[in-house]
Amino acid sequence: MTEIQMIKGDITTLKVDAIVNAANNTLLGGGGVDGAIHHAAGPELLEVCRNLGGCDTGQAKITQAFRLPAHYIIHTVGPVWQGGQEDEEALLRSCYENCLRLGRKIAARSIAFPSISTGAFAYPLERAAKIALQTIYAYLAKHPHVYEEIYFVCFSDHDLKVYQKIAKEIY
Ligand code: AR6
């Protein structure tokens, strides 16, 4: 059985098999969690990212984690919120699904997600948390033994409260 943990913290400090990065289409770094991950992983990360050829929205690509305590980084690109009529929901769901799929491919037993798209990409937090949790629950119903631990890493008390509230509502 998989344990789902919602925590407040900095995803770069987690000693898990894979952390997820909320990147952009270039995969060449940026601000927010992407900037924090590149800063903590070191310049080798940017070097390998240069060879990945970018990433489409909703898709994911994997690299080593270099100086991070995690083993791998799964880089995904969430949708920019444009009001909800531009397939944002399906694209965000696809981010979580593709990260879980890639993590399984490398036999990860633990994976940690940030709140994809809810910072610079302005996806409304409650809606995004609902999609994140629903997608994880749906995956676990199909694949209950793939992961031991799935973490949602919230960067603020407010974000954590929202995730906890949505989890109660939908579980
Ligand atoms: N650990 C965990 N969560 C964090 C951390 C951290 N160290 N730092 C920030 N967050 P964002 P997006 C939270 O903007 O909305 C970048 O420039 C943050 O508080 O990082 O998908 C990329 O290059 C928020 O809750 O990602 C893209 O251009 C969440 O992570 C763009 O931003 C996501 O916020 C992607 O935007």
Q: What is the CA radius of gyration of the chain?
A: 15
Q: What is the pLDDT along the chain (171 residues), one digit of tens a residue?
A: 899 999 999 999 999 999 999 999 999 999 999 999 999 999 999 999 999 999 999 999 999 999 999 999 999 999 999 999 999 999 999 999 999 999 999 999 999 999 999 999 999 999 999 999 999 999 999 999 999 999 999 999 999 999 999 999 997
**C-beta 62 within 6 A of ligand 1:** no
In the prediction, which pLDDT does 171 show?
76
Segment (H or E) for 102: helix 88-105
Going by C-alpha positions, the residue among 17, 69, 23, 77 that lies closest to residue 46 is 23
Predicted interface score ipTM higher than 0.90: yes
Of these residues, 10, 17, 34, 159, which one is catalytic?
A: 34
- Its CATH architecture, for the domain 3-170, is 3-Layer(aba) Sandwich (3.40)
CA 153 and chain centroid, separation: 9
**C-beta 30 within 6 A of ligand 1:** yes
How many CB atoms are located within 10 Å of the residue 33 CB? 23
Domain coordinates in residue numbering, the chain:
3-170
In the prediction, which pLDDT does 57 show?
99
Tell me which amino acid residue 123 is: Y
Q: Give catalytic status of residue 56 as yes or no.
A: no
**C-beta 114 within 6 A of ligand 1:** yes
